[in-house]
Amino acid sequence: MNIILLGPPGAGKGTQAQRLVERHGMRQLSTGDMLRAAVKAETPVGLQAKAVMERGELVSDDIVSALIDAELAALDPAIGVIFDGYPRTAPQARSLDELLASHGRALDLVIELEVNEDALVERITGRFTCAGCGKGYHDTFERPAVDGVCDKCGSTEFKRRPDDNEETVRTRMVEYRAKTAPILPIYEARAIVRRVDGMADIDAVTAALERLIAG
C-alpha cells in the first residue's frame, strides 16, 4: 500500500507515520527528515535548503522530487510507503505520479489530517525528538515514560527543530494553505481522499488510520 499523509505543520503526519512503520513494516518517506539530514551533513542540497527551511518556505520542487526518486529506486516495490510532507505543490504531485509509475507503484490513499489551526502552534513549539532514534515527543501530549529517557532506544539526548518557533510556523501555515491544500482536488477527482480528525488524541488518530488502511 502507498499512502500520502497530508496536513498542515503539526497535524501529526510524522507521529502517525512512525506508528504505521512500526505496526505494518511500511517505509516512511519524509522529505522534511531527508532535508534536515542533508542540512546536517552539509551536502549541496543541504546548503541550498538550510535558509529556506529556517524561513518556513518551500524548498524547490526539483530538489525534493529527486530525493523521493532516489529513495523509491532503492526500495523493494513490495514494501508500502507512507509519504509524509510530500507532495506539497501541484508540480510535486505530478512528479509523484511519474515516479510511482516508473518504480512500479500505485497510490492507494491520500489521508488528510484535519486540524484546527489554533492548536498547531502549541503542538509545534512543544515538540522534541530523540537524538538517537528520531522518535517524536511533545512536552505536554507525548512525554517519555521516564523523564529525559527515550522510550524506544534509551538515549538521554533530545533535539528541537530550528524552524519550530511561532513566527516560522505561521509562514509554514501560509505556505500550506497557498500551495499544498490546493492539491487535494487532484486526488479527490480520483476518489482516493479520506479524512481523519487530527484533533483527537494521538492513539485515536492511529486507530482511525488503521481502520482506513484495513479498508
Kindly list the residues in this chain that would bind Zn ion in the complex (CB under 5 A). Answer: 130, 132-133, 135, 150, 152-153, 155
Q: Give the count of beta carbons closer than 10 Å to the beta carbon of residue 179.
A: 17
Closest distance to ligand AP5 from the beta carbon of 117 (Å): 13
Q: Is 161 marked active-site?
A: yes
Closest distance to Mg ion from the beta carbon of 81 (Å): 15
As a whole number of angstroms, the distance between CA 172 and CA 112 comes to: 17
Residue whose C-alpha cell is 511533545? 138
* 14 lies in the site for Mg ion, by CB under 5 A: yes
* 194 lies in the site for ligand AP5, by CB under 6 A: no
Q: Which of 19, 123, 135, 172 is catalytic?
A: 172
Helix runs in 25-164, H state only: 31-41, 44-55, 61-73, 90-102, 117-125
Q: Is 88 marked active-site?
A: yes
Cell numbers that stand for 173 in this block: 501555515
As a whole number of angstroms, the distance between CA 198 and CA 190 comes to: 23
As a whole number of angstroms, the distance between CA 32 and CA 8 comes to: 13
Between the alpha carbon of residue 142 and those of residues 10, 33, 85, 138, the distances in Å are 13, 20, 21, 5
Q: Which of 88, 105, 123, 135 is catalytic?
A: 88
Cell numbers that stand for 8 in this block: 498542515
Q: Is 127 marked active-site?
A: yes
Q: Which positions from 52 to 91 touch Mg ion by CB under 5 A, shown as an x/- string?
A: ----------------------------------------
* Cα-based angle 149, 155, 157 (whole degrees, multiple of 5): 85
Q: Which of 13, 105, 123, 135 is catalytic?
A: 13
Binding site partner of 202, from Zn ion, ligand AP5, Mg ion, none, Cβ cut-off 5-8 A by kind: ligand AP5
* 136 lies in the site for ligand AP5, by CB under 6 A: yes
Kindly list the residues in this chain that would bind ligand AP5 in the complex (CB under 6 A). 7, 9-15, 31-32, 35, 52-53, 56-59, 64, 85-86, 88, 92, 123-124, 126-127, 136-138, 141-142, 172, 198, 201-202, 205
Residues recognised as catalytic: 13, 88, 127, 161, 172
